Amino acid sequence: MKVSAIMHRSVITVTEDVLLKEAGRLIFTLGIAGLPVVRGKKLVGIVTEADMLSKMHPTIQEVIEDYAHATDFESMAKNMRSLLENPVSKIMNQGVISVSSDTPLMKAHSLMLVNGFSRLPIVNNKNELVGIISQGDIFRTILKEEIPKIEKERYAGFISKYYDQMVNWDTRFEYECPAIFNLFEGEKVKNILDLGAWTGEHTIGLVKKSKYSVLGLDHNPIMIKISNDKKKNLPKEIRKRINFCLTDFTNIRSLTKEKFDAIICMGNSLPYLPLGPDSLFREVSKVIADKAVVVIQILNFKKVLMSKNRLLSFNIHQEAIGRESRKQLSIEFFDHKNEDVLLHNTVIFDNDGINWIYEGITSIEIYNVKKQDLEQALRKSGFKEVSFYGNIGEYQGAYGEFSFEAPFKPSESDWLNVVAKR
């Protein structure tokens, strides 16, 4: 494999006249080791965190030879601030090691290891910067079969920490429960199967506010552990009506002998489940009663992708760390992988009290579930009556007023609500 297959073509660079304090800010906030320096398109140098620190601090030999002055920290701090007002050209390394886009990937990796580089510029035959590659890029490529699993675990870790903080559960239940309970009352529902329990909050809240028994399913061990930990702290009367099970959804029949009167999949859980709608509802049909009802709530992906320019959410969360707290910013957006699959990207920044510091990005694949996909899958599974409704509401927020009356409008509705009956 050549470096061109995985290199980043959009490279953050600086010019020779940029001040070191600006270069330092970029290095710090982006969490990178250094920046290519360009003159026009030509690569003329590189400035790294190590270069800046070496110029700011005295060497060990200087400390040994002149300890008194070397430990004059006030003077050192003044010298550091003075250095930062200089242009990048003052300290940049002009002897840049670079490779071409057709360089074998492992040769580029060897160059990085030998020279202690974390990133390597890619240039064309005119010495123009055309890309950059990092050790992390190579590592991900080598482990590409494992990366989707790793990314799902990272996303699950993020959700497990922040999901309950992001959702106003009291308001959400006020919006959702009346319509759902009215529907279930008419269908004489007694027990419910919840697909995609996540942190268990929705499952538990549903039981607390009703007479129903609920089995919550999820494919992520972290979510099931969180849900069961919450269950332990509930009153006995509530606990006996709730169960949580870990499953990959391929053999739901093996988990329970019950036949469920209702199936729910709320809060956009459906696209994150490991099975697509056809396979999922084929499995679900094996554990439902003859006159079961299904309620599904998913995002109107078309609106997010088109009118919202792929942006799903922009949220600042408060994280408790011992007696202190810190802010964390998450930005979520979608990319198209293909017609049937989306990439859900989550970018994380931490705040140190002054600056926002880039912590990383996780990207997981989800199903691009459409209205016609759901209708087809449900009808194949024996649901003769399939109805669609819509509502306005913020993602991971209050979701807006939930009803089975307002029609679904593809260009206006934030949510697609589905009711299916056998």
What are the pLDDT digits (tens) for 14-44? 999 999 989 988 888 887 888 999 999 999 9
Q: Where are the domains of the chain?
A: 3-144, 155-303+368-421
User: Is 60 exceeded by the pLDDT of residue 65?
Assistant: no
Q: Both tokens of residue 17?
A: 């006249």
- What is the band of 60 on the pLDDT scale with cuts at 50, 70, 90? very low
pLDDT given at position 95: 86
Q: Residues near 389 by Cβ (< 8 Å), separated by ≥ 6?
A: 403, 404, 405, 406, 407, 408, 416, 417, 418, 419
User: Is 70 exceeded by the pLDDT of residue 56?
Assistant: no
Which is more confidently placed, 169 or 364? 364
Mean pLDDT value across residues 393-415: 80
Rounded to whole angstroms, the Cα distance separating 205 from 311 reads: 29
Which is more confidently placed, 70 or 52? 52
Domain 155-303+368-421 has CATH 3.40.50.150: yes
Which is more confidently placed, 238 or 68? 238
pLDDT given at position 102: 93
Percentage with pLDDT > 90 across the chain: 46
User: Is 60 exceeded by the pLDDT of residue 381?
Assistant: yes
Percentage with pLDDT > 70 across the chain: 87
Model pTM score:
0.69
Mean pLDDT value across residues 230-237: 94
User: Is 70 exceeded by the pLDDT of residue 85?
Assistant: yes
Which is more confidently placed, 138 or 248? 248
**What is the number of other CB atoms lying within 10 angstroms of the CB of residue 40?**
8
- What is the band of 55 on the pLDDT scale with cuts at 50, 70, 90? confident
Rounded to whole angstroms, the Cα distance separating 315 from 332 reads: 9
Average pLDDT along the chain: 85
User: Is 80 exceeded by the pLDDT of residue 138?
Assistant: yes
pLDDT given at position 321: 57
- What is the band of 149 on the pLDDT scale with cuts at 50, 70, 90? low
pLDDT given at position 319: 65
Q: Both tokens of residue 333?
A: 């957006």
pLDDT given at position 370: 92
pLDDT digits (tens, 9 = 90+) for 298-345: 999 989 988 778 898 888 877 665 566 678 888 989 998 888 999 999
CATH architecture group of domain 3-144: Roll (3.10)
Mean pLDDT value across residues 162-180: 79
Lowest average pLDDT, out of 113-117, 177-181, 246-250, 323-327, goes to 323-327
pLDDT digits (tens, 9 = 90+) for 267-297: 899 999 999 999 999 999 999 998 899 999 9
- What is the band of 58 on the pLDDT scale with cuts at 50, 70, 90? low
pLDDT given at position 379: 94
pLDDT given at position 61: 47
Mean pLDDT value across residues 199-207: 91
